[in-house]
Amino acid sequence: MAPAVFLSILIPVYNWDIRELLTRLSAQAESLRDGERVEIIVIDDASSSKFSNKETAGEKAWITYRELTKNIGRAAIRNELLQEASGRYVLFLDADMLPDSDDFVQRYVSEARQGKKILCGGISYLQCKGDDKHYSFYLYKSSRTESLPASVRQKAPWRYLFTSNILLLREIMESVSFDSQFSGYGFEDIEWGIRLSQSHTISHIDNSCSHMGLMGKSEVYSKMRESIPNYGLLLALHPECSSGVGAEALASRLRFLPRFILNLSDNLLSFCFRTLQWNNLLFLLFQLDKAVLLALLLKTTPKSNVTDTGP
């Protein structure tokens, strides 16, 4: 009888070719010792037909692959993946990630064997081409907000919990699932991390994956704007954790300005961001505009503990 599955690697896919990721994970899974059985589960969230990974996924018996006919979103698909997992531990990986080391899976298994319950391996850009100016702002921003060593991430464990590379006990995941209120882009992982941290210890280690899904400056900016409703939902659900942190600290003051001033500020910051090229200045403009957009949202849906006096 085959040993029980120790680790389920769960990969949500949307419009991405995962051949290289599956090849690397399969090679590492084959090298594990007896009793460390791994399964890989892939669910495609209604990608366009040109991104079908079905043939690649069918090459190995331990890979399960399924395609959805309707897109259900980043939070819901992770809950869907969990329903199919049978491992004691689950490892969530985004489709556009590539392990930075040949013992990536083994290191997670070793840490889990020592009793760790939640492990965040981190994000890097080691395998990305750094000479493409089209992606320079994205890499600059990410080096300050995401691609950080474990020693820095551990200072605020929930804030740097990225579902693109995280391992945890399956029973924990079953008790603290993703909030399906979060649709679209952004903050579902941070919200989940806040709830995890309330009852469990989150450990950060240096076991990174390179994020290969780089974005140009305009796409980064569009994604930020798209994420604002989810940011507002995060603040509403967890004001005790997110109040006074990041863009919210400035937005909570800006929200008392008249709406037309905020709209003018957004237009000006947007124009400057799209026009200028210096990454350090762009990062400042990016953060300022995020605060302005959040302030506009807070004027529409004010927090119960703040009185909105602006017109």
Percent of the chain with pLDDT over 70: 92
C-alpha distances (whole Å) from 70 to each of 25, 60, 92, 239 are 27, 26, 21, 33
Query: Between residues 295 and 60, which one has the greater pLDDT?
Result: 295
Mean pLDDT value across residues 28-38: 81
Query: Tell me, what amino acid is at 126?
Result: L
Mean pLDDT value across residues 82-111: 95
pLDDT bin (cut points 50, 70, 90) of residue 283 is: very high
pLDDT of residue 207: 98
The CATH number of the structural domain formed by 5-211 is: 3.90.550.10
Burial 132-170 (b: 16+ CB within 10 A, else e): eeebbbbbbbbeeebbbebeebeeebbbbbbbbbbbbbb
- Residue 120, strand partner residues: 166, 204
- Residue 116, strand partner residues: none
For residues 213 and 55, what is the distance between their CA atoms, to the nearest angstrom?
A: 22
Q: Dig out the tokens for 79 from the structure.
A: 């809950």
pLDDT bin (cut points 50, 70, 90) of residue 243 is: low
Mean pLDDT value across residues 207-217: 96
pLDDT of residue 179: 83
| DSSP output for 257-294 | S-HHHHHHHHHHHHHHHHH---HHHHHHHHHHHHHHHH
Mean pLDDT value across residues 276-303: 91
Rg (CA), the chain: 20
The residue assigned the tokens 């399969």 is 26
Mean pLDDT value across residues 13-39: 88
Q: Is 278 left (phi over 0), alpha (psi -120 to 50) or beta?
A: beta
C-alpha distances (whole Å) from 237 to each of 75, 109, 134 are 16, 34, 36
pLDDT of residue 132: 79
pLDDT of residue 133: 86
Mean pLDDT value across residues 90-109: 96
pLDDT bin (cut points 50, 70, 90) of residue 209 is: very high
Mean pLDDT value across residues 184-188: 82
Asked whether the predicted pLDDT for residue 192 surpasses 60, the reply is yes
Query: In whole numbers, what is the pLDDT of the chain averaged over residues?
Result: 88
pLDDT bin (cut points 50, 70, 90) of residue 187 is: confident
- Residue 92, strand partner residues: 10, 166
pLDDT of residue 307: 34
Mean pLDDT value across residues 185-214: 92
pLDDT of residue 306: 38
Q: What is the pLDDT of residues 122-138, one digit of tens each?
A: 999 999 976 678 999 99
pLDDT of residue 242: 64
Asked whether the predicted pLDDT for residue 184 surpasses 80, the reply is no
Mean pLDDT value across residues 135-145: 94
For residues 227 and 214, what is the distance between their CA atoms, to the nearest angstrom?
A: 17
pLDDT of residue 308: 38
pLDDT bin (cut points 50, 70, 90) of residue 311 is: very low
pLDDT of residue 87: 94
- Residue ranges per domain, the chain? 5-211, 218-300
pLDDT of residue 149: 96
Q: Is 187 left (phi over 0), alpha (psi -120 to 50) or beta?
A: left
pTM of the prediction?
Answer: 0.86
Mean pLDDT value across residues 47-72: 80
pLDDT of residue 280: 96
